[in-house]
Structure 1
Amino acid sequence: MAVVETTEVTTHNYQGVDTEFAREEGEGDLSLDYWREGHWRFFGRTLAQIGKTPTLDMPLVCEKFRVVYKQPAP
């Protein structure tokens, strides 16, 4: 369990997500290419469930946050 504080919320189209956001998300090798490949697969699977397909100009809500409290492991 954790408590997080949202520090920033922005909207970008898929193609407008930048290297800094990808790095700060902290997944894989922290590169924008890794972020784009993984998220394109995710959006493809998720949107298919409602009969849609991802596009380069689809809007995304990008959230930055900090961990305020993290419960210690048992």
Structure 2
Amino acid sequence: MSVLSKDERAIVLEIADFLEAACAATPDFTRAEFIESGWPQQIAPKARDARTLFLRRGLFSEEFDESEPGQPIVVPAGR
């Protein structure tokens, strides 16, 4: 079972494609060269979409395991 939903997985893969293209287009680049290349501006809209999607689901607890944010894992009786 994946920790990502279908939509979350799709957007993460889209961002990965952007990053791979950026690396291929600007091999051995410095941070300044990467910024100047324009790739951050191309990646930013999809990154904002990803952030919105992940925040819509919410954050998991740092204190205990949850099956979904705000919903503790239920262990069936007899285990």
TM-score over 0.5 for the pair: no
Query: Whose relative contact order is higher, 1 or 2, with alpha carbons under 8 Å and at least 6 apart?
Result: 1
Instruction: Give me the TM-score of the superposition, normalised by structure 1.
Output: 0.29
Q: Larger % of strand: which?
A: 1
Q: Greater helix percent: which structure?
A: 2
